[in-house]
Structure 1
Amino acid sequence: MTADELHVVVEPTDDGVVVIRVRGTLDGWSGRSELVEALEDAAGSGGRLTVADLSGLLFADSTGLHALLNAQQSHAETGVPLVLAGPLATGVRRLFEVSGTSGAFTFAETVDAALAC
């Protein structure tokens, strides 16, 4: 795997939390299907919380943002909270700010902080 390839690891916990660790780049070229599938599975799992660990995300564009917005909607529909955990890379944080979508998500500074949500 090169540093900019999208890599997704799903880590379910014993207490009903699904942590999805996202590494690399999330854009139209990287293929987002692995992340979309992981987020959809987590939303439908009946768990108590999904944490998307974006601390290893180097870059995201509107394709990635769209995947996260869809995941937020599906999580809301199933009643499973979705928290995006950082720390976020400057470009990733800026994507949420510039697009005006920061308010659509719950953010946490770290995965540990997200687990306390």
Structure 2
Amino acid sequence: MPPLTLAHQHLHGVTVIAVTGEMDATNRADLETYLREAQAAPAKRLVFDLSGVPFMDSSGLHVLLKCATDCLKAGGAVHLAAVQPLPARLFEITGVVAHIPVHERVEDAVTAALDSSERSI
């Protein structure tokens, strides 16, 4: 299995986190650590670019849900983008799609995150 690679970009009002590789129990701690570091100067809105994630188990899902909960408590939100079929099925089965916005493209997710940010001001 290829290693999980993570990158982030701080934009005005939103941080985009690009994830590549499988998100599972073997790299959960790495993902949690990275998210804490990426949010050191956090935007209240996060977009996860999941276009490079072919597989996600409940461990990866748990990290995303915890991150979404933490952002919500801080007055922000998490948006998911470019989700591949297997993770999309996991989100559908677990009902995540009813609680975290999922967008076809990263650009759409960034726009939605910024729009929701402006409405909450």
> Could you say which TM-score interval applies, normalised by the shorter chain?
0.7 to 0.9
Identity of aligned residues (%): 32
- The 8 Å contact of residues 15 and 42 in structure 2, kept in 1 or not, is answered as no
Structure 2: gaps spanning 5 or more residues: 113-121
- Which structure shows the bigger proportion of residues in strand conformation? 1
- The structure with the largest helix share of the pair is 2
What residue in structure 1 maps to residue 59 of structure 2? 63
Give the length in aligned residue pairs.
112
Task: Determine whether 1:77 maps to 2:73.
Answer: yes
- For residue 37 of structure 1, what is the aligned residue in structure 2? 33
Residue 105 (structure 1) aligns with: 100
Counterparts of 1:9-28 in structure 2 under 5 Å?
A: 9-13=7-11, 15-28=12-25
Distance of 2:69 and 2:36 partners within structure 1: 10
For 2:98 and 2:106, locate their aligned partners in 1 and report how far apart those are by CA, in whole Å: 19
RMSD across aligned positions (CA): 1.8
Distance in 2 between residues matched to 1:32 and 1:16, nearest whole Å: 26
**What TM-score, normalized by structure 2, do the two folds share?**
0.81
Q: Structure 1: state its 5+ residue gaps.
A: none
AA at the equivalent of 1:99? T
The TM-score, its normalising length taken from structure 1, stands at 0.84
